[in-house]
Homo-oligomer: A and B are copies of this chain.
Amino acid sequence: MTYRPELTQARCAPTFTVEARNEHGEIVPTEIAAERPLTLYVDKREIVTLMTLGGNPEALALGYLRNQRLVENLEDIVAVHADWEVGAVAVTTRHGLADLDGRMAKRTVTTGCGQGTVFGALMEDIENIRLRDDVRLDEAVYYQLIDNIRRHETVYKQAGAVHGCALAKGAEILLFVEDVGRHNAVDAIAGRMWLDAIDGSDKVFYTTGRLTSEMVIKCAQMRIPLLVSRSGLTQMGHDIATRTGITMIGRATGKHYLLFSGHHRFVKT
């Protein structure tokens, strides 16, 4: 049986309604996305404050710790308690985090429209990542996936101002998470994959957001060989995709797409 830490299920309303005045001078009730500070504590030590929609605080906390390489195994985590009254998520570990002081001191704060924090030398790890080369994505299956995502109910359709991420097996959406930031959405997916023991090595990762360096690094870390974005990419995202051999598709809208790297996994039909 898959190990699960003790978990809360703290959920919040993802949208609010406010009044706005439009160009005709009319008052229009307008749905807007929530944005809540969630401070992450590990064994009572403050790690980071994440600005989030609030739908997946436990998975977000776990995915953050996983993607920042602060925790190696889910079994090291005893409990994850989120509490929106105080805007905090408290993670209890079995043995404490090894060398947390050292890692916190060394952390490089990176920005961009990025998550912010990258602990240690993620870029060095990239060189050692091997993605599965026997996985294929047929063009017809790809189009079916894009259509499934289009029909998915989303906060974005109601309120905008959020990014969505999906983990898919072929055209089937396994997980779908939206959040204020691209990186919180991908971290929440990583947390859910951990909790549900989902292996990324034969999956497709879809994002509405841009493919910047951190986004591609996180996919590679999760061993996901196929990455699809509705948006564009940056030169460093492209560089990392090329070096890891990830199959990267950008500008995925309707019938259009651009395949940038890892051509061997994409089968045109």
- Which A residues lie at the B interface, using CB under 8 A? 16, 18, 20-23, 25, 28, 30, 32-37, 46, 48-52, 108-117, 159-161, 163, 179-184, 209-214, 231-238, 250-251, 255-260, 263, 268
10 pairs of A and B residues whose beta carbons are closest in the complex:
A116-B116, A51-B112, A113-B181, A160-B232, A35-B234, A161-B232, A20-B258, A35-B236, A112-B181, A111-B116
Instruction: Give min CB distance, A242 to chain B, whole Å.
Output: 9
Closest B residue, CB atoms, query A14: B235
* Contact residues in B for A110 (Cβ distance below 8 Å): 37, 48-51, 116
A and B contact pairs by CB, cutoff 8 A, 5 listed: A21-B259, A51-B110, A116-B117, A161-B211, A161-B234
* Contact residues in B for A209 (Cβ distance below 8 Å): 113
Instruction: Give min CB distance, A180 to chain B, whole Å.
Output: 5
The answer to whether B35 touches A180, judged by C-beta atoms less than 8 angstroms apart, is no
The answer to whether B160 touches A231, judged by C-beta atoms less than 8 angstroms apart, is yes
Bound CA–CA A23/B250 (angstroms): 11
Closest B residue, CB atoms, query A163: B113
The answer to whether A112 touches B18, judged by C-beta atoms less than 8 angstroms apart, is no
The answer to whether A111 touches B32, judged by C-beta atoms less than 8 angstroms apart, is no
Bound CA–CA A116/B109 (angstroms): 7
The answer to whether A234 touches B20, judged by C-beta atoms less than 8 angstroms apart, is no
Closest B residue, CB atoms, query A17: B235
The answer to whether A51 touches B232, judged by C-beta atoms less than 8 angstroms apart, is no
**Contact check: which of B108, B161, B259 meets A210 at CB < 8 Å?**
B161
**Contact check: which of B20, B182, B251, B268 meets A25 at CB < 8 Å?**
B268
The answer to whether A49 touches B260, judged by C-beta atoms less than 8 angstroms apart, is no
* Contact residues in B for A263 (Cβ distance below 8 Å): 21
Closest B residue, CB atoms, query A182: B113
**Contact check: which of B114, B233, B257 meets A22 at CB < 8 Å?**
B257
The answer to whether B112 touches A258, judged by C-beta atoms less than 8 angstroms apart, is no
Closest B residue, CB atoms, query A37: B110
Closest B residue, CB atoms, query A33: B234
* Contact residues in B for A113 (Cβ distance below 8 Å): 113, 163, 180-183, 209
* Contact residues in B for A49 (Cβ distance below 8 Å): 108-111
The answer to whether A109 touches B48, judged by C-beta atoms less than 8 angstroms apart, is yes
The answer to whether B112 touches A180, judged by C-beta atoms less than 8 angstroms apart, is yes
The answer to whether A20 touches B235, judged by C-beta atoms less than 8 angstroms apart, is no
